[in-house]
Amino acid sequence: MNQLTTENFDRNARAALGDAQLRGALRNLAVTFGTRRKSAIATVDDWEGLRDRARAIKDETLARLDVYLAEFAENAEKAGARVHWARDGREACDIFLRLLKEREATRVVKAKSMVSEEIHLNAVLEKAGIFPDETDLGEWIIQLAGETPSHIVVPAIHKTKAQIADLFTEKVGIEKTDDVDALTKTARRVLRERFARADVGISGANFAVAETGTFLVLENEGNIRLTTSLPKTHIALIGIEKIIPKFADLDVFLKLLPRSGTGQRLTTYQSLITGTKRSADGEGPDELHIILLDNGRSRMLAHPTTRQSLACIRCGACLNACPVYQAIGGHAYGSVYPGPIGAVITPQLVGIEKAKQLPYASSLCGACREVCPVKIDIPELLLHLRAAIAEGEKEPVRRRTSEKLAFKAYAFAWSRPVVYKLGTKISRLLQKFVAKGDKIGKQNGLLAKLAPPLGAWTAWRDAPTVAPRSFREIWKDELEKKD
Ligand code: SF4
């Protein structure tokens, strides 16, 4: 399934809300990763200072990205790599196909790479008769299931143990077992053979260092190390935003990324790759090709507000913290990048027309901004995109007209003290019919009948009732006299 279904977000989200198993898995994700993250960041003396430094490094890099990209390319080539530039996904896929064809490669192993998902590389390769084997366990599971990742760090988070066991029985031919150890050993056995016979290994990168031409890949399973060192040819696909200026900058990001992503102090493996193998009998590939991909990133860079989207280090913390993602999971977004950061970058990558609903998939609660290790102001970006959508709409649809009228009425009432006071009094009287305790929620179907838009709003969440006394009333009756 490689199709973009961003236009169906509403429908996808409704379907996901009815999936109890999915919501259970997402609850576990939020609790487990949230707790682990908190403990991991408590081991850093000055977490806030570290976040500020990371953001400053990213801002400085993005301000002079052309310079740092040229420096990275020059140093990577000095170390023996060959650097290719791709304006978009199609150009990147063409480079892959040419390189594979020139080497008559038919057996390809892949490390987990979200940017390769972004350009739908697997589908393109399969169409050309090359079947790439995903080697990250989660990615392999979803490849067997014919699905796309539902999370940028844990791609198969939506699957239960039982579903994975069934999948292994059906696709790998083992006897059904829900023993996790046995399932993992099966994956290892099957994938080891594929590493051994692969012609080419494909990976992404977490960071690329301009100063040395090195790139870093982080992982816990050891599959990336095998993918990048066993086959004779290694091709790395790297988004241009992954550049950082200095090797020493890695110290900052290595503290931030694992803690924010999986709640680890450090991932089990960190592979630093600089060029090809040093000697004929040394370790590593004979050839290293690096494809630097733009695919819409220059557009994001051009605007002072959207530029910060490129600071993202793909840790996934904003997904785990987001109440919307926690309720609907990743597939509902219909894009490889789900959650708050997906709602921001997908419209910028695929075009706002195709992903209009995504910037609205947020309550703007700010939880994503709170946890983001590089302090990306995601709510600000969402509002920026919403404004762009509103400005671009030539003919507002009916729903939008009613929404506009409602907001005009709201602005009218809230900017006139007399109307505001009267409105509050009337609301206090009317809410008696729809409130339960101090909440107005889905338990009372009357609201949906009397005021359909409000009923829809409270179908999934509770609204607080109007307070019995306003602050002004309390001030007048009690506090003012004390003064
Ligand atoms: S926006 Fe921030 S929290 Fe979300 S994935 Fe990117 S770096 Fe992580």
Candidate of 242, 372, 378 to mutate for ligand 1, largest count of ligand atoms within 8 Å of Cβ: 372
Rounded to a whole number of angstroms, the CA Rg of the chain reads 26
CA of 50 to the centre of ligand 1 (A): 15
Question: Both tokens of residue 86?
Answer: 């791709």
CA of 317 to the centre of ligand 1 (A): 6
Strand partners, 216: 207, 272
Question: Both tokens of residue 470?
Answer: 């306003």
Q: Among the atoms of ligand 1, which is closest to the Cα of residue 344? A: 1
pLDDT at site 397: 46
17 pLDDT more than 60: yes
Candidate of 41, 207, 376 to mutate for ligand 1, largest count of ligand atoms within 8 Å of Cβ: 376
Mean pLDDT of all residues belonging to the chain: 92
Average pLDDT (213-234) is 97
Q: Among the atoms of ligand 1, which is closest to the Cα of residue 321? A: 3
* Percentage helix, strand, coil for the chain under 3-state DSSP, each rounded to 5: 60, 10, 30
Q: Is 316 left (phi over 0), alpha (psi -120 to 50) or beta?
A: left
pLDDT at site 142: 96
CA of 319 to the centre of ligand 1 (A): 8
Candidate of 33, 41, 153, 314 to mutate for ligand 1, largest count of ligand atoms within 8 Å of Cβ: 314
280 pLDDT more than 90: no
pLDDT for 294-332, tens place per residue? 999 999 999 999 999 999 999 999 999 999 999 999 999
Q: How confident is the model at residue 464 (pLDDT cuts 50, 70, 90)?
A: confident
- Which residue owns the Cα nearest ligand 1 atom 6? 312
- Which residue owns the Cα nearest ligand 1 atom 4? 318
- Which residue owns the Cα nearest ligand 1 atom 3? 372
Return the closest-CA partner of residue 292 out of 417, 208, 415, 393. Answer: 208
pLDDT at site 185: 94
Candidate of 313, 320, 377, 378 to mutate for ligand 1, largest count of ligand atoms within 8 Å of Cβ: 313
- Cα-Cα-Cα-Cα torsion 40, 43, 46, 48, nearest 10 degrees, comes to 10
pLDDT at site 2: 46
CA of 382 to the centre of ligand 1 (A): 14
Average pLDDT (158-186) is 93
Instruction: Classify domain 64-298 at the CATH topology level.
Output: Rossmann fold (3.40.50)
pLDDT at site 28: 87
Average pLDDT (182-193) is 94
CA of 16 to the centre of ligand 1 (A): 23
pLDDT for 40-97, tens place per residue? 999 999 999 999 999 999 999 999 999 999 999 999 999 999 999 999 999 999 999 9
- CA dihedral sign of residues 360, 361, 367, 371: negative
CA of 379 to the centre of ligand 1 (A): 12
H or E stretch covering 344: helix 339-350
Question: 366: how many CB neighbours lie within 10 A of its CB?
Answer: 15
pLDDT for 117-165, tens place per residue? 999 999 999 999 999 999 999 999 999 999 999 999 999 999 999 999 9
pLDDT at site 101: 97
- DSSP tag of 220: S
Query: What span, in angstroms and rounded, lies between the C-alpha atoms of 408 and 405?
Result: 5
Q: Which residues line ligand 1 (CB under 6 A)?
A: 260, 312-318, 341, 371-374, 376
Query: What span, in angstroms and rounded, lies between the C-alpha atoms of 277 and 105?
Result: 20
Q: What percent of the chain has pLDDT over 70?
A: 93
pLDDT at site 452: 64
Q: Among the atoms of ligand 1, which is closest to the Cα of residue 319? A: 4
Query: What span, in angstroms and rounded, lies between the C-alpha atoms of 402 and 444?
Result: 24
CA of 368 to the centre of ligand 1 (A): 8
Write down the pTM of the prediction: 0.85
Question: 264: how many CB neighbours lie within 10 A of its CB?
Answer: 16
pLDDT at site 307: 97
pLDDT for 360-414, tens place per residue? 999 999 999 999 999 999 999 999 999 999 888 655 445 567 777 888 888 998 8
3-state secondary structure of 87: coil
Q: How confident is the model at residue 204 (pLDDT cuts 50, 70, 90)?
A: very high
CA of 366 to the centre of ligand 1 (A): 13
8 A C-beta contact, residue 344 and residue 381: yes
CA of 414 to the centre of ligand 1 (A): 36
Question: 115: how many CB neighbours lie within 10 A of its CB?
Answer: 22
Q: Among the atoms of ligand 1, which is closest to the Cα of residue 317? A: 3
450 pLDDT more than 90: no
Q: Among the atoms of ligand 1, which is closest to the Cα of residue 316? A: 5
- Which residue owns the Cα nearest ligand 1 atom 2? 372
Domain with CATH 3.40.50.10420 in the chain: 64-298
- Cα-Cα-Cα-Cα torsion 426, 430, 432, 434, nearest 10 degrees, comes to -140
CB within 8 Å of 358: residues ≥ 6 apart:
6, 9, 333, 335, 342, 343, 346, 347
CA of 14 to the centre of ligand 1 (A): 25
